Amino acid sequence: MNIKKISTPLAIALLMFPQLIETMYSPALTSIKNHFAVSAENAAQGLSIFFIAFALGVVFWGTLCDIIGRRRSTLAGLALFIAAAIATYLAPNFDLFLYGFGACAFGAAVGSVCTQTILRDSFEGLALSRRFSIAATSVGISPVLGMMIGSWLTAHGGYTWVFAAMIVLITLLFIWSSIQLPETKPKHIKHDSLLSVANKMIRDSHIWYITLMIGLANVALFSYYSIAPFMFEQLGASVKLFGYTGFVLAIGSVLGSLINIKLIHYKLNGDVIIFIAMILMVISGIGVYLLQDTIWFFIPMVLVSVAFGLTLPNLFSTALINYRNHLGSAGALLGLSYYLIIGVGLDFAASTGNLAITLLTCGGCCLVLVIIKQLFTKLALVRNAI
């Protein structure tokens, strides 16, 4: 079947924009608190609502992908985001502001689930893994870009400038997508109910493995953004230093993805690459533990970023190989599952307030999962040989 493929720059832009939006919002929290005269805790509610609405959006848009198509679903989600961002910009009170931002997150979910579905439609095997490696690099640097853009806009014009910039950026992305985004939905596709797809996935051990690995890898990386600012504060370091460390993490993510592309070129087994990545994550946890009383604790975090760049492409590229007849619905359920794990994991990280323990827990659990998977794979090969 000859399916028109999405261009790599457009795929990167669509995958980056949800995380870019989220991290642009974070520096605006103080402006939002002051404008609406609410507490810091209330202002921070927006981020919680973002993740909840985003998870619901992943299920909705992923399912819609299999019903009306990838292109129309993506354009509808982008249009909803633009409308919601305008409503949020104009919101006269804090409650309406939160509702508007929740609607933004719901629309932004198309950037994740629909784009992944389009990539899985268009590519397979090594080609798909390479695309996800490039995507992992982009997603890895998007928090740095988001924090820089959001900080500058907030400093010069408050939260309204941040939302004005969101409206402009996503309008441009909508126009670009309207012109270039192809429809990749196969002509002959099963319209199984979401419940039947979920029932199949629940009984699939490979899906459980993928979900846990993706969730724990994300918790390891993003726990830094929630714990490190307080560690710097306790050490008497400038908050600006925390912002600069984002560049270090971005370099690690890019390096990990480039190494992964090279290893794929040499046809190294994906499970072996993931195993190496998890060893790096455990080493990182040990390094953070040893350096946590100094400002240099952020240096070992580079290894977490490298591990992230090595792991995610190999997990995403093999996640739904048995669900090609309903990629949208299966992708939606997969996304919902690992976003729930990320939410619970980050809550655990925040409650402990210990970055080293979080990294060691995530890295250790992932390492055990990889070893168990390899043992079961070898047992299956022995049984087939007998």
pTM of the model: 0.76
Could you say which of 1.20.1250.20, 2.60.40.10, 3.40.50.300, 1.10.600.10 is the CATH number of the domain covering 190-386? 1.20.1250.20
CA pair distance 116, 108, nearest whole angstrom:
13
CA pair distance 320, 307, nearest whole angstrom:
22
- Helices (H), strands (E): how many in the chain? 15, 0
CATH 1.20.140.10 fits 1-183, yes or no: no
- pLDDT 10s digit of each residue in the chain, 386 long? 455 788 888 988 998 888 888 878 877 877 888 888 887 667 766 666 887 888 889 889 988 888 888 899 999 999 999 999 999 999 999 999 999 999 999 999 999 889 888 888 887 777 777 777 777 667 767 877 887 788 788 888 888 999 999 999 999 999 999 999 988 887 766 666 778 888 889 999 899 999 999 999 988 987 887 778 778 878 887 656 766 777 788 788 888 878 888 887 787 888 899 999 999 999 999 999 999 999 899 999 999 989 988 888 888 888 888 887 777 788 888 888 888 888 788 778 877 889 999 999 999 999 999 999 988 888 877 777 66
Is the separation of the CB atoms in 84 and 33 below 8 Å? no
- Residues in Cβ contact with 297 at an 8 Å cutoff, skipping those fewer than 6 apart: 231, 287, 288, 291, 355
Tracing tokens 């002509």 back to the chain, one arrives at 187
Structure tokens at 130: 């390479």
In 3D space, the residue among 209, 296, 177 whose CA is nearest the CA of residue 248 turns out to be 296
In 3D space, the residue among 39, 115, 28 whose CA is nearest the CA of residue 75 turns out to be 115
CA pair distance 35, 93, nearest whole angstrom:
9
CA pair distance 100, 23, nearest whole angstrom:
17
- The pLDDT value recorded for residue 75 is 96
The residue count for the chain: 386
**Which region, left, alpha or beta, applies to residue 268 given φ > 0 means left and ψ of -120 to 50 means alpha?**
beta
Cβ-based neighbour number of residue 94 at 10 Å: 18
CA pair distance 217, 282, nearest whole angstrom:
12
CA pair distance 248, 253, nearest whole angstrom:
9
CA pair distance 221, 19, nearest whole angstrom:
13
- The pLDDT value recorded for residue 192 is 64
Is the separation of the CB atoms in 70 and 61 below 8 Å? no
Cβ-based neighbour number of residue 298 at 10 Å: 23
Domain boundary assignment for the chain: 1-183, 190-386
- The pLDDT value recorded for residue 243 is 66
Structure tokens at 36: 């609406």
The answer to whether domain 1-183 and domain 190-386 are alike in fold is yes
- The pLDDT value recorded for residue 385 is 66
